[in-house]
Amino acid sequence: MAEFFNLKRGLNIDISFRCPLECYACDRQRGYRNKGFSVPGQDMTIEQFEKIIHCFHKISFAGNLSDPTGNKKLIDFLKICYEHKKSTHIMTAATHRPFDWYIKAFEANPKARWTFGIDGLPEESCLYRINQDGEKLFNIMKTCRKMGLQTKWQYIIFKYNEDHIEQAKQLAKDIDVVFELVYSGRFSSVTDPYRPTKNEITTRLY
Amino acid sequence: MKLRPDCTKLDKKFGWSAQGYLLPCCWCDLKSTFDNKQGALSELVKEHLHIDKVQSIDEVLDTPEWKNFYKVITNDKITNETPEVCIRHCGQGMRSIRVKEND
C-alpha cells in the first residue's frame, strides 16, 4: 500500500484558511459558516512547505476551503517551486490583492500555470462568486497571458450565465486563453436556484 | 455498489488541508472528516499525523492509518469504515465534468 501511494506525486494544497469570497456551493459556506462555525486552519509556513515540497513533482495551489491568494507567502512558495523545478498550478478566484501583487506572482514563477475562476461574463461572475470583482480578475487573467504564462479561464455553468457561453468563449479567444466549461457536480437538487435550465446542459449534470 | 477510488490512480493528486494534514484527495477536506464521521478517512487526521509532528510525508504514508485506509477503499464491500465522501464521489459518481473548449 505505502509503495503504491509513494508512486503518486502530485499534491493539491490548501495553503490558507482565508477567502474573501462567499461562493454559495463552497464547503466553506455549506460545511462551516452557514452552520455558525468559523473556518479552521492556518496559513502554511515556509518551513512546513519546504518539508512537503521535495516529496512531490506536481504542486497545485487550488484551495479546498480557501483561495491560495489568502496566504501572503504565496509568492515565496511560487519562487520555491520554480527553483526546485516543480510543475506548478494555481487556481484562484479571489480579487482582494492589488494588481501589482499578481505581476510579482507571475514573475516569481514564469512556468506556472494559472486558472482563473470567472463564472459568466466578467461583470456577472459575482452573482455566484460573492465579493469577486470579475472585471479586475479578467484583466489580471489577460495580463497573465500577456506575460507568457499558461492561462485558463474556468467557467462554471449556472442558470444566470448559461446563455453567455459563446460570448465568453469569444472573449477567451480574443485574449488567447484556454476556455474550460465546468458542469458542476455540486448542485444540491433540481430546485437549486443556481442550477442551469437548458436541456443540453442539465443532461450532463450529476 | 463498489468503489472505484480515484485516489488509487496515479494522476489523481493528494489533498492537503489547511489544518496541516495530508489527505487522499481534496474532496476529503470536510468538517465531517475532522469530526470523526468519515470512518477510516477520519483516522488520517489524528494529531500524530500533523505536519509539525512528522519528519516527512513518507513517514505519514507508512502508518497503520494510511495502510488501513487503502485496505478499506479497495475492499469489495462497503463497510462502516468506508468514508461516506468516498461513496458519494467514487461510488455514486458525484463529480464535476470539465470540458476544454479551445485548447
Q: Taking Cα atoms as reference points, which of A93, A75, A77, A186 lies closest to residue B16? A: A77
Give ipTM to 2 decimals.
Answer: 0.91
User: For residue range B52-80, what is the model confidence (pLDDT) as tens digits?
Assistant: 999 989 899 999 999 999 999 999 899 99
Q: Which of A4, A6, A14, A169 to mutate to test the interface with B (most CBs of B within 10 A)?
A: A14
For residue B12, pLDDT beyond 90: no
Per-residue pLDDT at B103: 65
Mean pLDDT of chain A: 94
Q: Which chain B residues are within 8 Å of A62, Cβ to Cβ?
A: 26
Inter-residue contact A15 to A49 (CB < 8 Å): yes
Select the residue of B19, B30, B99 nearest A41 (Cβ to Cβ).
B19
Contact A185 B11 (CB under 8 A): no
**Does the global pTM surpass 0.80?**
yes
Per-residue pLDDT at A3: 62
Tally A–B CB contacts below 8 A: 132
Please, what's the b/e burial string for B9-25 (b: 16 or more CB within 10 A of its CB; e: otherwise)? eeebbbbbbbbbbbbbb
B68 CB-contact burial (10 Å; exposed 0-12 / middle 13-18 / buried 19+): middle
- C-alpha cell of residue A161: 450565465
Residues 6+ positions from B59 with CB-CB distance below 8 Å: none
Express as a percent the part of chain B with pLDDT over 70. 99
Query: Can you list the pairs that B7-12 forms with residues at least 24 positions away whose Cβ atoms lie under 8 Å?
Result: B7/A8, B7/B73, B7/B90, B8/A4, B8/B70, B8/B73, B8/B74, B10/A7, B10/A8, B11/A10, B12/A8, B12/A10
Contact A13 B61 (CB under 8 A): no
Q: Which CATH architecture has domain A2-202?
A: Alpha-Beta Barrel (3.20)
Which contiguous run of DSSP H or E holds residue A193? none
For residue A86, pLDDT beyond 60: yes
For residue A139, pLDDT beyond 70: yes
Amino acid at A133: D
Per-residue pLDDT at B76: 86
The four Cα atoms A22, A24, A25, A30 give a dihedral, to 10 degrees, of: 80
Please, what's the b/e burial string for A77-94 (b: 16 or more CB within 10 A of its CB; e: otherwise)? bbbbbbeeebebbbbbbb
Per-residue pLDDT at A180: 97
Domain residue extents for chain A: 2-202
For residue A153, pLDDT beyond 60: yes
**Which residues lie across from A92 on neighbouring strands?**
A116
User: For residue range A18-41, what is the model confidence (pLDDT) as tens digits?
Assistant: 999 999 999 999 999 999 999 999
In which band, very low, low, confident or very high, does the pLDDT at A14 lie, cut at 50, 70 and 90?
Answer: very high
For residue A109, pLDDT beyond 90: yes
Q: What is the average per-residue pLDDT within A115-141?
A: 98
Contact A184 B98 (CB under 8 A): no
